[in-house]
Structure 1
Amino acid sequence: MVEGSDSYLIRPNHQHKFKPTIVKEYIHEILRERLSGVLYDPESVPELTRSLAETVKDKVKNAGFDKYKLVVQVIIGEQRGQGVKMTSKCLWDADTDNYAADVFMNESLFCLVAVFGSYYY
């Protein structure tokens, strides 16, 4: 093992720990930039969903959360005044793992993005 290497750590350093507040800000910023003024179009939603997931994942990866496995979930639907509920169930380490989520809505669509960060031991 190389001296000074952190490959043996089983807990992230404080500065590298997944920070939901920061991740939520990233999600909020990306959704506002990409979806403001966008109209719901069922033909373009699959590509828009993939693109948003990749953009969010890349932004979070570059934030320095070393050794975290990221899962990004994006849901886009047509805005018709309906309610939507989403639940998730995960088995994880409460000391190291966390998630962040944000919702964007305009007159035409709603979008929910959740990012799960699981520390890779």
Structure 2
Amino acid sequence: MSSLRPDIYTLTTIRKLSASSVRTHASSTQSSGRGGLAGREGGGRTTVIVENTYKTEPDVKFPVRKVQGIIKDVLESRLGEERYRPEDSNGLAMELAETIKTRVKALQVPRYKLVCFVHLGTGKKSEVQLSSQCIWNPDTDIYADFTFTNHHMFAVGIVWGIYYE
């Protein structure tokens, strides 16, 4: 891209760069027919100024209830009457977290980064306390969680939705 002069950017390229402030020149509407690059001999130049597109609030809120339903469905359908086995718990937790993350991504909530966490433990009257910390905007960032238990084990699934400005 550095070999191209700023005066031959296409409007498509400028739109892709619209997240930052760009000042460049683009030829008018004539195209050379190769990759959309505009020819120089067809007319005057137009100055295109693209402004920042920072959005501090989401257009669509993170669907907490739907995500809780996904976590619940994945944990209950996969674990059912599963017994806790320490040697298998790492792979199982990673599999569950990946499945939850994939299903939440399918909701296509724009501008949210997802962090998915699954913790498994034995159900033998054990007590576990989990804690997490991060820089958080309470107006836009949110989480959904669900705790599954049976007679042999427990599982905690959490999905954090962090709004990306």
TM-score (norm 1): 0.87
Q: Return the index of the structure with the highest Cα Rg.
A: 2
How far, CA to CA, are the matches of 1:11 and 1:80 in structure 2? Answer: 44
Corresponding position: 1:44 with 2:64: no
How far, CA to CA, are the matches of 1:12 and 1:60 in structure 2? Answer: 17
- Pairwise CA distance, 1:95: 1.6
Secondary structure in 2 matching 1:71? strand
Aligned to 1:27: 71
Secondary structure in 2 matching 1:112? strand
* RMSD across aligned positions (CA): 1.9
How far, CA to CA, are the matches of 2:139 and 2:66 in structure 1? Answer: 18
- Pairwise CA distance, 1:19: 2.0
Q: How many positions carry a matched residue from both structures?
A: 117
Corresponding position: 1:107 with 2:148: no
Structure 1 stretch displaced more, 52-61 or 18-27: 18-27
- Pairwise CA distance, 1:114: 0.8
Corresponding position: 1:83 with 2:154: no
- Pairwise CA distance, 1:118: 0.3
Q: Specify every segment of 5 or more residues in structure 1 that has no aligned partner in the other structure, as ranges.
A: none
Corresponding position: 1:98 with 2:135: no
How far, CA to CA, are the matches of 2:86 and 2:105 in structure 1? Answer: 29
Aligned to 1:57: 101
Aligned to 2:58: 12
Secondary structure in 2 matching 1:110? strand
Aligned to 2:45: none
Question: Identical aligned pairs, as a percentage?
Answer: 36
TM-score (norm 2): 0.65
